[in-house]
Amino acid sequence: MKPEKLTLCNIGPFVGKHSVDFSRFNSIFLVWGNTGSGKTTIFDAISYAFYGKPPGIRSQSPKNMRSHLVADTEPSEVELIFSIKNKRYKILRSLPVYSNKKNKETPEGVELWEYNTTVEKDWKNISESKKTDTAKKIENLIKLSFDKFSKIVVLPQGQFADFLSKTSNQRQNILENLFPVDQYTKIMEKAKVRQDNITEKISYLQEELNRLQETYNDSLYSTAHKELNDEINRLKKDLKEINKKLDLKKEEKIQAGLILERKKKYAKAKEQLEDTNKKIEDYNQKKMQIEMARKAEPLAVEVEQIEELIRNEKSESDKLYEIKNKQIFAQEKFNQYVEQKSTIEKEEKNRDNLLAKEDRLKRATELFNEIKKEKDKLSELHKKLLPKNKKLTELKQKLSDIKKEINLAQNDAELFSKHETEFNLVKEKSEYLQYIYDLIAKYNEKKQNFKTHNSLLQKKENKLEIINKNIKIEKEEYDFLEETKAKTEQQNIAFILVKQLKENYACPVCGSLTHPTPATRPEKLSFSIDERIEKSNASLENFLSEKKECEEEITKCKINTEQWQNQLNEIIQEAKNLNSKYSNEIIFSTPIDKININEVFEMKSTVIEELNDKSKLKESSLRSMDKKNKLEQSHDENTKLYEKINFETNEISIQESSLKSIIKEKENNFDKLFSEINENKENPSLILEKCQVEIKDISHKINSYYQNISEAEKALENFNTAKQMLEVNLADIKKQIREKTDEVELKCSNAGFAGFDDLKSAIIPSDEIKQNEDEIKKFYEYRAATLQSVETLKKELEGQPEYDYNLIETEVDQLNIKVEELEARAANKTTQILELENKHNQYLTLFNKHKETCENSIVINKLANKLNGKNSKKLKFDTWILSYFFKQITVYANKRLEKMSNGRYRLVVTSENETKKGFDGLNLQIADANTGKLRPSSTLSGGETFMASISLALGFADSITANAGGIVLDSMFIDEGFGTLDSTCLENAISILDEVRGHRMVGIISHVAELTSRIPEKIKIEKTNHGSKIMQ
């Protein structure tokens, strides 16, 4: 992740919009300015864009990022454009804003955009529908949590100095947030759960064994099992003998039961036979009745026919009586209607008069409605006319007022040319001052870069001078060693010759016969002359190589210095060219490098105010011209409107006059009609309605009369016809009854019946005859079967032995009781043996499970104890993992700390815990090479603490990057701390950061003035009374 551009709007001390272009920086850059100018706000804004809160303690109140110099209703937002690998993204995050309309704060907003590199080449909104989902998407995109971001990307003031002084408990909390140890903690927890489970299982199995042993002793199992088996076998033997006796007795009981049952059947059959003997006389009587019914059966149909004729006769007589009564009533009603005839004729004459009156009322009502409509039209025209007259009066007044305003606007519009000329002059002056101000700022920046590179050139030249001195010294050393080597070789030769010298013999070197001071063996050195010459030659070559590199760097520095000098000259020339473009009244006579930028800024501010005043005057004149044109246009439009309304008013007056004439004529006709009717003419429709109701009532009365008299006459005719038909039918039925009765009486006499009544009493329905015959047949069959059963049972009982059934039954019951007792005892013993075997099996199962679980618990307990801190080092597994990461961090950190402290300090992770509190393996101490001892980090000075803190921060960044695949840290921002370093440590710190930078961009916030000359790329924050400004 690498920021490209940051835009602030009403954030912190920055009022309005301010931007920082990070794409201009390829190496280390400095953010500097006075205290409270807003340097830290820039890095806070980057954190806020990503996570909605600034780093450090300020994260608790992100709303405080809003500028206090603007109103609550002004928008306050941060826009950050950044890149990840080859993709560009943009985050727009806005703080809550107070809304006057809604009288409450609007919620915080966040949007994520992606740059589309395809055909459109434009930003595409890839935000989620919910703000929380968008925030999560941003965090997944950069692959860093807020804690990691604030530890390895944005390093707030004093954060890692605070980390040095924290306890091991507090360090563990921080490390757990930065490194993934959850999986190791879960392994510990899982092992502890398994340990607890198996311990609980062992305890449960032991409790179950103890509970079982309270009622069961496994050592007595074999004896008890044998005794129970023997008792069961004895009981089975006794039970077999008893069952044999019981079977014999049951056979005897069955035989006795059969004989007893036959005796009961015999007694019952005799009772049934006696009962049939009693009923035989009744059944003989029924038999005679059936024979008489069979004789009467052929005449039954004719008897039924006579009875049906008698019923018909009675029905027709009743109908004839009813018709006669109705005929009398209908005749009376018809006579009443005849008497009403004269009244109805009078009503018909009255109806004719009312119909004539209705016709005249209809015509009068039509005229009345027409007059009313015409009057309504007249009223509508009058209503239209009133507002138009009022509108004409208003338009006259409005045209007069517009004419006056046109005259006033004309005076102000004539000053536009003058105001425009003055505005252009001040604008030209403002542009010139802005150009000069930008050139001076650019010149100062280039001049600072020139000084930086020139200072670097001087340092390189000084370094070259030192290298030349070293080369000269090393050459002298080399020559001295060569000379020493030659002398040593001569001494070695002389020493060899000394061994050959003899008294009174001439020396082969000097020829002397005496040898007072013979040559001695040269002193043996730790390093041979050749080794020292070789080392000196190597050093000389290194110095020559350094000289060459230094000369190349000096050449580059000279080129860069010349380039910066040329750029300064170009700016001076640009200022001279600028002066030729503007009038002599506003140009500066002094060279650009002598002009004070603050004076230019003040002049520029004054001119801007003057320009605003002139702009307002010009705009006022322009508005007056525009107003005049609009007023003239309005005057023309209102004149046309006045003429149009005046024409419409005249048209309405003509229509009004015509309607009045029509209304007068219709009112005369209406009065004429009502003079004939002789009624009140105020409401003709109501009179017409009453007339029509009266006509309707009379018509209904007349129609009802004619309908009723017609219906009465018709009913009378119908009753006469019905009476005649019934009289004919009744005479015919009476004749049929006489003839049929004579015929049936003759047949009765022939059949042997005393008369018609005797015949009727003998008749029985055919289904009843059949039922009685079946009953008689069944009776005689039942009596024969009962007689047969009595004879059969009597023969079966002859010669059978006599049994006492009750005694036999008692003996069987006693044997059954004995069987049940023996079976119960056998079942009880069987249950006891089953319970004994079950307990034996339970004991074996529990014992084996307990043994197996105890064996398994040894490994589980050992693993769980070691993972959860019960080991020689008393370290928990997740703490040990954290200590591994912590040691890795110190390895990365010590690479920088040793260099910054010139090899004196190293960070050391120790397992000892001096306070005996917290976690072993997370204690941090400082190894001091000067004393060769470890000491607490709290003993470091302020500068030493900063060196350790920045090294630790860089170590964190390297470790997290190494352990988190896919994270590429392209930028780092450091807030303060460099002011505590001396010049040497500061140089080392800058060189370390330059090494760390690599492909990364490193931003530093500091008040240290020396850094402004050491770091050429800068962002200056200028503090003013109206808010801070970013100068890049």
> Each residue of 882-929: pLDDT tens digit?
888 888 888 888 888 888 888 889 998 886 554 444 445 678 889 988
> Is 3 in the same domain as 142?
yes
CA distance 885 to 887: 5
Q: Across residues 287-295, what is the average pLDDT?
A: 78
- Chain-wide mean pLDDT for the chain? 82
**What is the CB neighbour count within 10 angstroms for residue 619?**
13
Q: How far is CA 334 from CA 320, 719, 720, in A?
A: 21, 13, 14
> Is 325 in the same domain as 265?
no
* 875 compared with 981, residue with greater pLDDT: 875
> Is 119 in the same domain as 39?
yes
Asked if residue 8 is part of any domain, the answer here is yes
Q: Label each residue of 388-407 as H, E or C.
A: HHHHHHHHHHHHHHHHHHHH
CA distance 993 to 368: 109
Q: What was the pLDDT predicted at 918?
A: 42
> Each residue of 331-371: pLDDT tens digit?
888 888 888 888 888 888 888 888 888 888 888 888 888 88
Q: Across residues 458-476, what is the average pLDDT?
A: 86
> Each residue of 764-778: pLDDT tens digit?
777 888 888 888 888
**Could you list the residue range(s) of the whole structural domain that residue 749 is in?**
299-342+686-762
Helices (H), 8-127: 39-51
Global model pTM greater than 0.75: no
> Is 56 in the same domain as 139?
yes
Residues 6+ away with beta carbon under 8 Å from 728: none
Percent of the chain's residues with pLDDT above 70? 89
Residues 6+ away with beta carbon under 8 Å from 642: 392, 395, 396, 399
Which of 196-210, 511-525, 688-702, 762-776 bottoms out in mean pLDDT, i.e. has the lowest? 511-525
> Each residue of 484-507: pLDDT tens digit?
888 787 777 766 666 666 666 666
Contact by Cβ (8 Å): 1014, 3? no
Asked if residue 804 is part of any domain, the answer here is yes
CA distance 575 to 110: 45
* Domain end (from 813, 833, 852): 813
* 961 compared with 791, residue with greater pLDDT: 791
Backbone angles phi, psi at 78, to 5 degrees: -130, 130
> Each residue of 251-275: pLDDT tens digit?
888 888 888 888 888 888 888 888 8
Asked if residue 245 is part of any domain, the answer here is yes
* DSSP reduced 3-state for 906: strand
Q: What was the pLDDT predicted at 158?
A: 59
Tell me: pLDDT of 1007 over 80.
no
* Domain end (from 727, 762, 797): 762
Q: How far is CA 950 from CA 173, 895, 936, 977, 1011, in A?
A: 20, 12, 17, 9, 16
Ranked by mean pLDDT, the top range of 147-156, 459-468, 672-681, 738-747 is 459-468
Asked if residue 620 is part of any domain, the answer here is no
Which of 362-371, 785-794, 866-875 bottoms out in mean pLDDT, i.e. has the lowest? 866-875
Name the band, by pLDDT with cuts 50, 70 and 90, for residue 185.
confident
> Is 137 in the same domain as 282?
no
Q: What was the pLDDT predicted at 502?
A: 63
Q: Across residues 960-976, what is the average pLDDT?
A: 70
Asked if residue 636 is part of any domain, the answer here is no
Q: CA torsion, points 183, 186, 188, 191, in degrees to nearest 10? A: -130
320 is written with which tokens? 């004839």
- Polymer length in residues for the chain: 1032
> Is 129 in the same domain as 244?
no
Q: What was the pLDDT predicted at 911?
A: 64
Q: Across residues 143-163, what is the average pLDDT?
A: 73
Pairing of strands 97-99, 104-106: antiparallel
* DSSP reduced 3-state for 158: coil
CATH of the domain at 114: 3.40.50.300
CA geometry: angle 951, 953, 956, nearest 5 deg: 110
> Is 242 in the same domain as 144?
no
* Domain end (from 748, 779, 813): 813
> Is 101 in the same domain as 241?
no
* 1008 compared with 375, residue with greater pLDDT: 375
Backbone angles phi, psi at 112, to 5 degrees: -120, 125
Tell me: pLDDT of 510 over 70.
no
Residues 6+ away with beta carbon under 8 Å from 1014: 452, 986, 990
Tell me: pLDDT of 804 over 70.
yes
> Each residue of 91-107: pLDDT tens digit?
999 998 876 666 677 88
Number of domains in the chain: 3
Q: Across residues 281-302, what is the average pLDDT?
A: 79
> Is 741 in the same domain as 804?
no
CA distance 961 to 291: 129
Q: Across residues 852-859, what is the average pLDDT?
A: 89
Q: Across residues 383-399, what is the average pLDDT?
A: 87
Asked if residue 788 is part of any domain, the answer here is yes
Tell me: pLDDT of 692 over 80.
yes
Q: What was the pLDDT predicted at 219?
A: 82
Contact by Cβ (8 Å): 509, 494? yes
Ranked by mean pLDDT, the top range of 55-69, 135-149, 1003-1017 is 135-149
Percent of the chain's residues with pLDDT above 90? 9
Contact by Cβ (8 Å): 956, 159? no
Asked if residue 510 is part of any domain, the answer here is no
> Is 8 in the same domain as 149?
yes
> Is 975 in the same domain as 1006?
yes
* 581 compared with 229, residue with greater pLDDT: 229
Asked if residue 884 is part of any domain, the answer here is no
> Is 757 in the same domain as 771?
no
Name the band, by pLDDT with cuts 50, 70 and 90, for residue 117.
confident
Q: Across residues 464-475, what is the average pLDDT?
A: 86
Tell me: pLDDT of 77 over 70.
yes
Backbone angles phi, psi at 30, to 5 degrees: -115, 135
